[in-house]
Amino acid sequence: MPPEEATAVAETTSSNDAASCKGLVKIYWTATGEVNALTGIDASFPEGAITAVVGPSGSGKSSLLRILAAIDRPTAGQVMIGGRDVSSLPAWRRRRVRRRVVGYMFQRPADNLIPYLNAYDHLVLAGRLRGGFDPNEADELLEVVGLTDRAKHRPHQMSGGEQQRLALASAAIGKPALVVADEPTAELDSGSGQALMELVRSLARRGVTFLSSTHDPIVAAAADRTLYLRHGALEAEADAERHQARALSVIDTAGRIQLPPGALRLFPGRRAVITVDEDGVRIDPP
């Protein structure tokens, strides 16, 4: 990233943000060509806030979450987590970031838990990975998520809701800068989902920052703010006029470009006239 651009990013990042991203682009190369999963996302995630990312399937929610959880690396753009730029870190440094400052929750409760560990051991393991296990914090978290009397139970002895609450406690132990959850209520009934989000709120009040993708209105309602993703771009939480007038897009190696979703309405016949002159390139309907 050029120095002037890095300075600009730094200026847009508030010191109260647990994480932020700027100009985030993610491209996957597949056998059939390039897939532009994220086409330039600017967003910040204030400390102690719950942010929901919503959008249709294939809109780039999971890609955004994986990058913000330091599991994946962006093709371009900058990602700050806990005040440090993680966008270009090598794999082993990103792993350390994940260990120390990020909590992650999968959609399926079973994916978050280890079958042979009981509830308390999950917190021991998660705390040790975070760099220092505090038994008092574990006791406190178990109490918060209502699993104190289930501390010695293994995952298969718990309900789906209890398993996901335990996963939440495991993700939140050690005071990570950011907890990322990928559709955490997708496999829960509405009551369990509601209960889980109440816990999320209570943890957020203690300063834990949450970022969650979801299709669930309960999660969206519980969030402090909601980001709408469509075709790899944010549709809301941005200056609508600027968003429509200037949108960052990516030209792939074959010369293809993905139009912003709003612009698609201008081309109902899916045909375009491209004019190249000294002022630039124009794309008009025929």
Partner 1 sequence: MRAAAEGVRMALGAPVRLVRFPASLLAVMGTALILGIVASSAPLFLSAVGASALHAQVNETRAAFGGLIVTDEGPLTADRIAYRQRLLTRTTAPLRGLGAPTVTLLGTGATVASASHPGVTAPVQPLSRTGFGTNIQRLSGGGDDGIWLADTTARTIGVQPGDRVLLTSGDATVSARVAGTYRALSSIPLTPYWSAMYQYIWTRSKGDFVPLPPFAMTSQSQLLQLESASASSGLEMWDYPLTPNASLETAQRLGAQIRTVQASFADPRSTLGSGFVSASSGLLALLGRASSERTQLAGAVGALATAGLAVTLLTLALAGAYGYARRRSEFGGLRARGVGPIRAGGRAAIEAALPVAIGVAAGCALALGLFGALGTGPVTSQAMRSAVRWSAVAALVGIAVYAITVAATAVREPRSDRHRTRAGLRRTAARIPWEVPALAIAAAALWEIRHSGAGAVAGGPHVDRLVGLFPVLFVAALSGLAVRGLRRLLPRLRPGGSSTPWFLAVRRAAAAPATAGWLVTASAVAIGMLVYGGVLAASLQSASAAKGQVAIGSDVAVDVSSGTQLPRGSVLPATVVQRIPGVAVGPGEHSVDVLGVDPSTFARAAYWQGRFGGSLPGILNALTVPASAGSPVPVVVVNGNVPAQAHLETQGFSIPIRQVVNTSVFPGMSAGRTLIVANATALSRAMVAAGLTMDEAGDLPQIWARGDPATILPQLGAAGVPLSTDSVFGARITPVHTAAAEAQTSRLQAITWTLGYLRALGLLSALLALAGIALYLQTRQRARQVSFALASRMGLRANAYRTSVALELACMLGMAFVVGSAIAILAAALVVQPLDPLGSLPPGAQLALPLALFAEIALALGIVTLGSAWLVQQRASRANVAEVMRLAT
- Shortest Å distance, C-beta 50 to partner 1: 20
Residue whose CB is less far from partner 1, 72 or 216: 72
Considering the rule CB under 8 A, would residue 92 count as an interface residue with partner 1? yes
Considering the rule CB under 8 A, would residue 189 count as an interface residue with partner 1? no
Residue whose CB is less far from partner 1, 164 or 194: 164
Binders of partner 1 in range 116-135 (CB under 8 A): 116, 121, 124-129, 132-135
Of 70, 132, 188, which is closest to residue 166 (Cα–Cα)?
Answer: 188
CB 136 within 8 A of CB 83: no
Task: Write the single-letter amino acid at 257.
Answer: I
Secondary element (H or E) of residue 128: helix 119-130
Find the binder of partner 1 among 1, 47, 48, 71 (CB under 8 A). Answer: 71
CB 213 within 8 A of CB 182: yes
Helices (H) and strands (E) in the chain, counts: 11, 12
Collapsing DSSP to helix, strand or coil, 71 comes out as: coil
Find the binder of partner 1 among 20, 106, 194, 214 (CB under 8 A). Answer: 106
Token representation of residue 147: 């699993």
Compute the distance between CA of residue 174 and CA of residue 168 in angstroms, rounded to an integer. 12
Residue 181, beta-bridge partner list = 105, 212
The site that binds partner 1 (CB under 8 A) totals a number of residues, namely: 40
- Shortest Å distance, C-beta 97 to partner 1: 7
Residue whose CB is less far from partner 1, 8 or 110: 110
Rounded to 5 degrees, what angle do the CA atoms 164, 183, 106 make? 55
Considering the rule CB under 8 A, would residue 5 count as an interface residue with partner 1? no
Residue whose CB is less far from partner 1, 86 or 235: 86
Find the binder of partner 1 among 46, 76, 89, 100 (CB under 8 A). Answer: 100
Q: Which residues lie near partner 1 (CB under 8 A)?
A: 26, 28-29, 66, 69-73, 91-92, 95-100, 102-104, 106, 108, 110-116, 121, 124-129, 132-135
